[in-house]
Structure 1
Amino acid sequence: MGTLWHNGSIYTMQAENDQVEAIFTKNGLIIEVGEATALRDTYQDMITNEIDLQGQMLIPGLVDSHLHLIGHGEKLMRLDLSEMKSRDEILKALHKRCAQTPAGEWIIAEGWNENEWRESTLILRDDLDQLSNEHPLVLKRVCHHAVVVNSLAITISGIEENIEQPFGGVIGRYVDDRLNGMFKEDPALKLIMNHLPGITDEYVKRALTDSIRDCHRLGLTGGHSEDLHYYNGFLPTYQAFVSVIEEAGLPFRVNLLVHNKVVDDMKESRFGYRSKRGLIELDAMKIFADGSLGGNTALLSHPYHDRPDTQGVAIYTEKELHDLVQKARNYEMPIAVHAIGDLAFEMVLNAICTYPPKLGLRDRLIHAQIMRHDLLERAKELPVIFDIQPGFVPSDFPWVIDKVGKDHMAVNYAWKTYLEKGIHCAGGSDAPIEPVNPLLGIHAAVTRRKPFDADHTIYDEKECLSLYEALSLYTTGSAYAIGQEESRGKIASGYVADFTVFEKDLYTIQPDEWLEIKAAMTVVNEQIVYVKK
């Protein structure tokens, strides 16, 4: 009937270093915390199971506040380019995959990042044509805001050489004006992505299953995921989550952001904000305000230092953005807006001030990387959460300095400054853009260093977080982002029985050792869903 958890380092996250000796749980909830002997005496007739933590560290279940669960599963299923350090390495891997794949089948690869290559010459259409004219080839950049494709993919997609560039999108060309195979941002990306082979329900469920199991392995008990626009529409994708999490019994506490392009489908299906089924809950309306830094499409208030001919891309005009926010308010929904560049961020703040959320609701500003002091002063007065990705620091530095310019770096990626100003922050990975492992994000938040960097280069040391602050991003911060701070993110009576157990106490070892340890156990709704073998 109930479970006693004891004999470990149990951190409640109610205050820094606050610990308890034991926890008694029942029916998916924490009933009481305290001394093991006292709990055993009080609940002796209800304790049917005891979990001896054997000295390991237990904390509230870690929740990734921003990821794409199905996309992460797809990355696990596809050719992964994210660890490859040169264009030659990628081309060799693609050549091998072409040789193993029947002619006519699409080959989709994930995660190239020219900023991590030894030399950054892009792979373009002509390079891919040399590999194969029998397979449509699609290479997704790590940011998912750009793809490069070969001629066969262009032909199958019905794209003509003289195609006009859509507003909010970028179509790349060679100096001779031929298409070079590069497509950036959704208005351009969909010209290719809409022609990929049909996505079956079984494919989506397999990707989701693989993704959740991988999250369990890494200690994640839940996530705030944005998937409902990309896999055959709102209802089929929602049903895939129901099928895997509720019907197949793979517990994962998930809040689903609803892309603005399917929010009407949500309403027509008679769902709304906070509609819930078991562990699945619908959340804020997702909007993209700009693109990515790597693709020079994040919208800045000044020209890019490395590309003075551009300030980035606005996905919507200011009026269109205001109209979308107004629609969210008409549906009594908060918004969750992708805004990397400072000008995009400013446009979003303007829209929120024009159409504020209903009392008690909180908007979230996703990424919030390129910032200005005046924007922080405005944001701290609004009911907003900064949805940050600590792993972007080791991924983006030092190249981001050359891209944005030293004169515009004062409060960029400034996690500590955000918290000190009283701005609530939640932490996530943006998987599959970055690895989903929360320990990588925690390490990045505390050290602001690349993992295993022999030089121990720290990027803006004054912005380093304490371990407690870093853990809070994935516990109390993620709970606050969805208005569930009274029931999730802490070890306390009445809170959900979601736990992450690490094999060692992070407080007793050095940060670089965090990169080597594993989750020993993951618990969702009192159910042990993963145990390290």
Structure 2
Amino acid sequence: MKKILSFLFITLVHFSTYAQSSLIKNINGYTLNDSAQLIHFVAIQFTEDKVDKLFTAKDTLPKQDIRIIDGQGKTLLPGLIDAHGHVLSYGLSLMRVNLNGAQSEQEAVQRAINFKKDNNDSKWLLGQGWNQVLWKNKQYPQAVSLDEYFKNTPVWFKRIDGHLGANAKAMQLAGIDHTSVSPDGGEIIKDANGNPTGVFIDNAMELITNNIPENSAKEMQLALVKSMKALAKFGLTSVHDAGIDTANIEAYKALVAENNMPIRINAMIDINDENLNSLLKQGHFRTPDDKFIINSVKISADGALGSRGAALIKDYSDLPHHKGLMLYNQETLTLLIKTAMDAGFQVNTHAIGDNANKIVLDQYEKYITTEKIKQMRHRIEHAQILRLQDISRFSELGVIASMQATHATSDKNMAQDRLGEERILGAYAWKKLIKAKAIIAGGSDFPVESANPFYGLHASVTRQDHQNQPESGWFPQEAMTIKQAFQTFTLNAAFAAHQENIIGTLGKNKKADFILIDQDIFNIKASELWKTQVLQTWVNGEQVNYL
């Protein structure tokens, strides 16, 4: 009897620990290998969260003891990775007034009115995405446009680049009037009579945002999950969350504990977090399933080009005597970079203007003194406008250029006005960087731009908008091939997070993160890339439920 019970126990243990493999067949599969060669396959086998094997047309497929899924001839790719986004902001944006694409100040105001009708309980009216460059007069909005409709509701609307915009009630709560002085690293825009217009640039934004009630822990978690599911629907299986604070980190950890992380997150600690020293002292963080990791910090060196906050070496071509803004003085920036490097963290610094990029590269060069420090793979986020002589420094220093292709197609209407004919040659210079053997990690900077990675692939290859303009592409000599663009959103983005051994490509023992899409991106017209639809998203061998 004991022998029978023992046998039954062993049998039950065997069946309880047995993990059935899955096979998705009848697919048009593509992946890069670790040497960045493009591989084609027709089936993929995986067990739990790991890939077992890729099958080519010549291979015999297994038929027994395996779950078989028919891919119906669809294209399968490794899950795409966005190397620079803002997950919480995106989640919150899905619950705020969407001003993206508004063609006039009046249209933006009307969207706010419509939103308020359905959200009467909101103490503040928050929104983002407006861009005065799309408007006929190309002028910044005025608070008075909102005051007629929102006399008693404070309004804070961010520009598409994440900067600017308040109404009179919000300024009243912040104590802003004609006597208010712009803070260091920021500007309160005033009219001819010295009255604030409602437009705030860079560090001046805090005068308003400090009065906006903080989200509760539960609200933050709900926004994060909403965001991650929406990102998964676009085909993103991993995102580098560019600059988050302690509360955001704790919200992620709560979701980890609930097993409620739809996609992977590589979080960058915000260098301005009040608990920075404690976070650095704790060292790197990684969950066993690699759904949530922390091994980097985010620093912002300057502002954005659209608001003329990007720090340039010479004056803006369309605004004499103005060079933009560095957000820290040299001494402070040096201290921040050195502190993070000394703590063993990868440093990811936002730099858009050529002066900001030069200064950050100079600082990196000063402190990347050993191979160990170089192997931390420090990054420049955006790397938008570069002196031509600085382009080769990325590869020489082992610095990754974390760039967002859709910034180029969004900025093409104003960038040359801001920079002139010479500096523009070092702007959005993807092909020059690739030729100089720099590694470009692809991203979007959502919600500043759309989180859809196929928009990024399209912009990378065509340097056109969705109306195929300009006809030959904007500075087409800087365009990537489809393979190069695909690499930026897969292998390179994984490398930029020290995760190339588990994600970014598909192969034996890699994570089973992949997507099924409706068209073959390697065999269609480049102009059609942005129209790609994601049919399924799988993370850790499980299909993500978008709802």
Asked if the contact 1:70/1:227 (under 8 Å) is kept, the reply is no
- Which whole-Å CA distance do the structure 2 matches of 1:57 and 1:318 have between them? 49
Shift of 1:53: 1.3
Cα gap change, 1:103 to 1:29, in 2 (>3 Å): closer
Matched letter for residue 226 of structure 1? A
- Among candidates 215, 220, 225, match of residue 236 of structure 2: 220
Partner of 1:22 in structure 2? 43
- Which whole-Å CA distance do the structure 2 matches of 1:72 and 1:520 have between them? 22
1:434 equivalent in alignment to 2:449: yes
SS of aligned partner of 2:83: strand
- Which whole-Å CA distance do the structure 1 matches of 2:59 and 2:144 have between them? 72
1:202 equivalent in alignment to 2:218: yes
Matched letter for residue 251 of structure 2? A
- Among candidates 262, 278, 283, match of residue 272 of structure 1: 283
Partner of 1:287 in structure 2? 299
SS of aligned partner of 1:522: strand
- Which whole-Å CA distance do the structure 1 matches of 2:318 and 2:273 have between them? 36
Matched letter for residue 52 of structure 1? D
Query: Which segment drifts farther, 169-178 or 332-341?
Result: 169-178
- Which whole-Å CA distance do the structure 2 matches of 1:142 and 1:496 have between them? 34
Partner of 2:196 in structure 1? 179
SS of aligned partner of 1:303: coil
Partner of 1:466 in structure 2? 481
SS of aligned partner of 2:304: coil
1:239 equivalent in alignment to 2:254: no
1:190 equivalent in alignment to 2:211: no
Aligned-pair identity in percent equals 28
- Which whole-Å CA distance do the structure 1 matches of 2:469 and 2:242 have between them? 36
SS of aligned partner of 1:391: helix
Asked if the contact 1:245/1:251 (under 8 Å) is kept, the reply is no
- Which whole-Å CA distance do the structure 1 matches of 2:299 and 2:243 have between them? 13
1:362 equivalent in alignment to 2:380: no
Shift of 1:274: 4.2
1:17-96 superposed matches below 5 A: 17-35=38-56, 40-41=61-62, 44-45=64-65, 47=66, 49-96=67-114
- Among candidates 20, 23, 26, match of residue 4 of structure 1: 23
Matched letter for residue 459 of structure 2? A
Matched letter for residue 31 of structure 1? D
Partner of 2:5 in structure 1? none
Structure with higher Rg: it is 2
Cα gap change, 1:39 to 1:483, in 2 (>3 Å): farther
Query: Which segment drifts farther, 28-37 or 467-476?
Result: 28-37
Shift of 1:410: 1.3
- Among candidates 362, 370, 377, match of residue 392 of structure 2: 377
Cα gap change, 1:99 to 1:61, in 2 (>3 Å): closer
- Which whole-Å CA distance do the structure 2 matches of 1:162 and 1:25 have between them? 65
- Which whole-Å CA distance do the structure 1 matches of 2:115 and 2:516 have between them? 38
Shift of 1:36: 7.3
SS of aligned partner of 1:165: coil
Partner of 2:326 in structure 1? 314
CA deviations over 1:213-234 (Å, ceiling 9, x no partner): 11111111110002523xxxx0
Matched letter for residue 306 of structure 2? G
Matched letter for residue 255 of structure 1? N
Cα gap change, 1:21 to 1:116, in 2 (>3 Å): same
Asked if the contact 1:172/1:182 (under 8 Å) is kept, the reply is yes
Query: Which segment drifts farther, 166-175 or 258-267?
Result: 258-267
Shift of 1:262: 2.1
Asked if the contact 1:6/1:36 (under 8 Å) is kept, the reply is no
Matched letter for residue 384 of structure 1? V
SS of aligned partner of 2:400: strand
1:131-142 superposed matches below 5 A: 131-142=149-160
SS of aligned partner of 1:419: helix
CA deviations over 1:336-377 (Å, ceiling 9, x no partner): 000000100011011111212625211010101111111112
Query: Which segment drifts farther, 339-348 or 504-513?
Result: 504-513
Matched letter for residue 460 of structure 1? F
Report the count of equivalent residues: 522
SS of aligned partner of 2:164: strand
1:436-515 superposed matches below 5 A: 436-453=451-468, 456-515=471-530
Shift of 1:158: 3.0
Partner of 1:346 in structure 2? 358
Cα gap change, 1:8 to 1:154, in 2 (>3 Å): same
- Which whole-Å CA distance do the structure 1 matches of 2:88 and 2:279 have between them? 23
- Which whole-Å CA distance do the structure 2 matches of 1:479 and 1:150 have between them? 42
TM-score by length of 2: 0.91
Structure 2 alignment gaps of length 5 or more: 1-19
- Which whole-Å CA distance do the structure 1 matches of 2:22 and 2:311 have between them? 51
Query: Which segment drifts farther, 28-37 or 326-335?
Result: 28-37
- Which whole-Å CA distance do the structure 1 matches of 2:453 and 2:359 have between them? 31
CA deviations over 1:457-499 (Å, ceiling 9, x no partner): 5101111111111111110011110122222211211211110
- Which whole-Å CA distance do the structure 2 matches of 1:265 and 1:301 have between them? 31
Query: Which segment drifts farther, 19-28 or 428-437?
Result: 19-28
Matched letter for residue 55 of structure 2? G
SS of aligned partner of 1:508: coil
Query: Which segment drifts farther, 474-483 or 90-99?
Result: 90-99
- Which whole-Å CA distance do the structure 2 matches of 1:179 and 1:453 have between them? 39
- Which whole-Å CA distance do the structure 2 matches of 1:50 and 1:36 have between them? 17
